[in-house]
Amino acid sequence: MQQSDSSYVTIDQLRIGMHVYLDLKWFEHPFAFNNFRIKDEEQIAVIRSLGLARLRYDPARSDLTPAAAEAKKDAEGVPPPLLKEHPALAAKRALIAKIKLQRESAARIETAFVDTAKTIHDVEKNLFTHPAETIEQASRLVDQIADSILSAPELAIHVMGDKIGGEELYFHSLNVTMLSLMMARDIKLPQEAVQALGMGALFHDLGRQEIPTRILLKTEPLTPAERNYFELHCQYGVELAERLKFPRGTLPIIAEHHELFDGSGYPHKHKGEAINLLARIVAIANYYDELCNPLNVATALTPHEALATMFARLRAKFDPRFLQIFVRCLGVYPPGTIVQLSNGLIGMVATINTTRPMKPMVVVYDAQVPREEAILVDMDSDGDVNIAKAIRPAQLPREIFAYLSPRQQVSYYFDASTPSKDIAKK
């Protein structure tokens, strides 16, 4: 629908508090967004230098109405064009360069994720044919991941994009390990316990090897008999771990990762601090990942919904200290959450820094910007914009869904702000 003249203002009518739209390509102006509320005279000066005679503005989102045009105008009646070396455009070029570096960093992290996922695939494939060598390989992998996570000055958690391959690269065990070690970092878990936590998280579902596939892959509710059989995977896991000579510290995690703080878990309905401390950490990561990535994807919760459900409705089921840490590290809008920003734009949370989880990195949909060059907004440095709400992917228009490409299964990986080792090295 065509805009009426009443929704336009001339350049000399610009005032602080107006919400304006720049009908330019993103690369043709120095601002982070194409629409925003003017906050100071400096922004007005920059807009005037863009060579536009008038702008669209939104009265409903503005703090005031446009002032009457001043009588005195430029001799030509047109603002001067933006100079090549205008500092605002220099800032935009710096932003573009920063986005390029962030995109290169994301590609590096996704490569590391793929390498690690392939290593875990090899571990799962070879565990029973070459147990000693495979456990040693897994132990090295956990050591290297834990060392990178725990020694980093800052820890960034990324959601993996759709360029890394199919959904088969999702590994529940890797997600649970990552999220468990994230919490271990926050609570400063002693080094001697970190290895047990990592190995226990990686192999917490070891006992599923003994459960019939027809039960494991059943998407309808299990019968009571099937449920009882399935719950035996904890016991079977401990028996297998003992037979394969797993480190002793992993056994309580394998045995108790489904025990819940209020006593409603299984297999023994242990309660509170009677549950092994490391198992309480893994229980939270495991529960969250199963909400986000269930066998039946139609029942999947978004990362935001999963975290909100655990904190609001299921809080009694988890160690309150560890649940609070988990929420604090992932933020209200974990990576993979589709969000609407306060300026109306739609995006997906791509990265959170665990020290500033409320200020994530968001990839933003803009039809004028090619998908492979999508705008990355750092909420930590752009204080004028915040996240207004979460949106379910199914509610997105088709073109926005295709642009943001939310994965059916949410996989996480990390970026430690120090040179990392080759964590998939065998």
In a domain, 424, yes or no: no
In a domain, 266, yes or no: yes
Domain that holds residue 61: 5-82
Q: State which amino acid sits at residue 274.
A: A
**In the listed set 26, 48, 82, which residue is the last one of a domain according to the structure?**
82
Residue indicated by tokens 């933006």: 82
Same domain, 103 and 75: no
Q: What is the pLDDT of residues 201-246, one digit of tens each?
A: 999 999 999 999 999 999 899 999 999 999 999 999 999 999 999 9
**In the listed set 82, 115, 144, which residue is the last one of a domain according to the structure?**
82
In a domain, 293, yes or no: yes
In a domain, 286, yes or no: yes
CA 331 – CA 364 distance, rounded (Å)? 19
Average pLDDT score over residue span 305-316: 96
Residue indicated by tokens 């300026």: 343
Same domain, 151 and 71: no
Same domain, 104 and 153: yes
In a domain, 120, yes or no: yes
Could you tell me the CATH number of the domain that includes residue 406? Answer: 1.10.3210.10
Average pLDDT score over residue span 393-411: 90
Same domain, 77 and 207: no
CA 408 – CA 235 distance, rounded (Å)? 31
Same domain, 63 and 9: yes
CB count, 10 Å around CB of 276?
21
CA nearest neighbour of 189 among 93, 321, 384: 321
Same domain, 185 and 303: yes
CA 89 – CA 79 distance, rounded (Å)? 17
Is residue 7 within 8 A of residue 56, CB to CB? The reply is yes
Same domain, 252 and 105: yes
Average pLDDT score over residue span 137-155: 91
CA 169 – CA 165 distance, rounded (Å)? 7
CA 169 – CA 59 distance, rounded (Å)? 48
Q: What pLDDT shows up at residue 368? A: 80
CA nearest neighbour of 55 among 43, 73, 42: 43
The region of weakest confidence among 26-30, 72-76, 234-238 is 72-76
Q: Which helix (H) or strand (E) holds 43?
A: helix 41-48
Same domain, 310 and 334: yes
pTM reported for the whole predicted model: 0.81
**In the listed set 51, 82, 113, which residue is the last one of a domain according to the structure?**
82
CA 374 – CA 366 distance, rounded (Å)? 7
Same domain, 179 and 250: yes
Q: Does the pLDDT at position 73 exceed 60?
A: no
Bin 47: left if φ > 0, else alpha if -120 < ψ < 50, else beta: alpha
In a domain, 421, yes or no: no
Same domain, 47 and 150: no
Beta-bridge partners for 375? 364
Same domain, 176 and 78: no
In a domain, 138, yes or no: yes
The region of weakest confidence among 96-100, 293-297, 370-374 is 96-100
In a domain, 326, yes or no: yes
Is residue 42 within 8 A of residue 86, CB to CB? The reply is no
Same domain, 324 and 390: yes
Number of domains in the chain: 2
CA 366 – CA 343 distance, rounded (Å)? 13
Q: What is the pLDDT of residues 337-386, one digit of tens each?
A: 999 998 889 999 999 989 888 889 999 998 888 888 888 888 887 767 88
With residues binned 3-state (H G I as helix, E B as strand, rest as coil), the percentages for the chain, rounded to 5, are 50, 10, 40
Q: Does the pLDDT at position 314 exceed 70?
A: yes
Q: Does the pLDDT at position 26 exceed 80?
A: no
